[in-house]
Chain A
């Protein structure tokens, strides 16, 4: 039997199986679709949370002001310390002259306010971009105890709090995806178990006439894969429709809001869901076959 013939046989058997146990196929597809819908909704939430948080993060700077009386040595030392610190992504030194220029540019025609001063009132400073995974509060505490540092502006405190939340969301998200995936596997495994069980006579006949183990299993695995993919597509359609509705609602409540995950992210999510559906269906079948020692 050629590979093509063998593939078409298994595909035909799988479709036959779905056709003749419509109720079970619908149950399997529904349970996969629901599991993946929940999973997908969560992933979409996570995606949006991440987009939102990384936008915040991009805007977020920690400004470290240097004491006027600090000597060049301790400033160089401080710079080196930043460069060696894993919590610091990048560091820019802004001497007071530059800071003044920035202020003047900002003031525009009103620059006389500053120009009348005989001495630059601004201190030297460092602008730090902080690693997303770093503990900002801890970093601030460490910096404040440095001799050369006069003050650390950690910006709005809530930004730091949210940055900490990023970490938490990621870990919880990871755990939740794992749990949801496992639960879906169990549900799918169970529904497919029933399909396999319903066709145990057919399986017995396949064995009787001398089909090899893999020949017996393949149609069920193909069936699992197909139902998984169909369920995933269904969950994706539901997800897109639901997401659109939700965004529509949000637009009316808070019209200014933007930067949500768009079609490219949705497409990627769709791909992931289809893959997960396929894998779920396939593994579900495999587990059921093992349990029925087919």
Chain B
């Protein structure tokens, strides 16, 4: 589902964010991306939804080589990758419902499909009763769930989440983790960058450890603890 071959990324500032990354993630896997701040986690994720291009090497997403992908095809790649941010990035002027529905509307879905899918995903994330509120009227945990709902509503094959629990209390973080596990159980490939080693231990999955732009360890499936 995600393949990286000898990927390096050097920003125009000269910072080498990634150096010689080789990584393969199969369909349906759940992978943690851990490592200190500045290790290159965000950069690696931005390559997956082609927010950036690698300086050298190849990134292949769902069989598509992102460097060779024509500019006009990029939107279609993005539709198969859902993205969740630490800082939510919701549109403040739209209701919860419309923030989520927006992701379907802008890809040209017919309105009955928009309504149906939006309701379904809000239901799944326990946000149904918040549908008509604005982002400023809901809690941080709820905002993160709206952000996940937006990423999921278009049924992406891959869900990329960049420190989704970074701004949340431990309790809410656990909530979000349960949701991500549930999504993964339904077959979506999930990649999650995190600092939170507590969560990584609690919900054990494959861990890719990144330091200074290099993979220093890649532990396959640490046995599950109770989750």
Chain A proximity of B57: nearest CB distance (Å): 23
Q: Is B111 an interface residue (CB 8 A)?
A: yes
**Main SS at interface, chain B:** loop
Q: What A residues does B109 contact at CB under 8 A?
A: 1
B105 contacts A205, C-beta separation under 8 Å: no
- Residues facing A in B49-102 (CB within 8 A) are 49, 51, 72, 75-79, 83, 89, 91, 93-94, 102
Is B154 positioned at the interface, with any CB of A under 8 Å from its CB?
Answer: yes
Q: Smallest Cβ distance from B5 to chain A, in angstroms?
A: 25
CB atoms of B91 and A210 under 8 A apart:
no
| Alpha-carbon distance between A264 and B102 when the two chains are bound, in angstroms | 46
Q: How far, in angstroms, from A206 to B94 measured CA to CA in the complex? A: 13
> Per-residue 0/1 for A185-203: is the Cβ within 8 Å of any B Cβ (1 yes, 0 no)?
0000000000000000110
Within 8 A of B (CB), among A141-166: none
Contact (Cβ within 8 A) A20 B93 = yes
- Closest A-B pairs by Cβ, 5 of them: A210-B78, A210-B79, A211-B106, A209-B103, A1-B108
B110–A210 touching, CB < 8 Å: no
State which of A20, A204, A206 has its C-beta within 8 Å of the C-beta of B106: A206
Known: A1-B108, A210-B107. A202 touches B91 (CB 8 A): yes
Q: Give how many B residues have a beta carbon under 8 Å from the other chain's beta carbons.
A: 24
Verify A205–B49 contact, CB threshold 8 A. Answer: no
Contact A6 B108 (CB under 8 A): yes
**Of A5, A201, A209, A212, the contact of B72 (CB 8 Å cutoff):** A212
Q: In the complex, what residue of chain A is closest to B80 when comparing beta carbons?
A: A210
A5 in contact with B111 given A205-B89, A205-B91 (CB within 8 Å): yes
- Identify which of B51, B78, B110 contacts A209 (C-beta below 8 A): B78
A85 on interface, CB distance cutoff 8 Å: no
Tell me, yes or no, whether A69 is within 8 Å of chain B by CB: no
Q: Measured between C-beta atoms, what is the minimum distance from B172 to chain A in Å?
A: 23
In the bound complex, CA of A215 to CA of B154 (Å): 16
- For residue A202, which residue of chain B has the nearest CB? B91
A182 at the interface (CB under 8 A from B): no
CA of A83 to CA of B102, assembled, Å:
71
> Which chain B residues border A258 with CB–CB below 8 Å?
none
- Residue interface bits A256-291, CB-to-B below 8 A is 1, else 0: 000000000000000000000000000000000000
A213 contacts B by Cβ under 8 Å: yes
- Residue A55 CB within 8 A of the other chain: no
Is A116 at the interface (CB under 8 A from chain B)?
no
Is A254's CB within 8 Å of the partner chain B? no
Q: Of the candidates B49, B75, B89, B108, which one forms a contact with A201 in the assembled complex, judged by CB atoms under 8 Å apart? A: B89
Q: Which residues of B contact A216 (CB under 8 A)?
A: 106
Contact partners of A211 in chain B: CB under 8 A? 75, 106-107
Are B108 and A209 within 8 A (Cβ)? Answer: no
Interchain CA distance A6-B91 in the complex, whole Å: 20
Across the interface, B76 reaches (CB within 8 A) one of A9, A201, A206, A210, namely: A210
Give the chain B neighbours of A212 by CB distance below 8 A: 72, 75
**Which residues of chain A are near B89, meaning CB under 8 Å?**
201, 204-205
Q: How far is B210's CA from A18's CA once the two chains are assembled, in angstroms?
A: 45
Does residue A207 face the partner (Cβ distance < 8 Å to B)? yes
Give bound CA distance, A2 to B109, whole Å.
9
What is the distance, in angstroms, from A123's C-beta to the closest C-beta of chain B?
A: 80
Q: 7 A-B pairs, CB-CB below 8 angstroms? A: A1-B109, A20-B93, A201-B91, A205-B91, A205-B103, A210-B107, A215-B108
- The minimal Cβ–Cβ distance linking B196 to chain A, given in whole angstroms, is 24
**What's the nearest-Cβ distance from chain B to residue A130, in Å?**
60
Q: Is B150 an interface residue (CB 8 A)?
A: yes
Given pairs A6-B108, A201-B91, A209-B150, 18 additional interface contacts (CB within 8 A): A1-B109, A1-B110, A1-B111, A2-B110, A20-B93, A201-B89, A205-B89, A205-B91, A205-B102, A207-B78, A208-B78, A209-B78, A209-B103, A209-B107, A209-B154, A211-B107, A212-B75, A216-B106
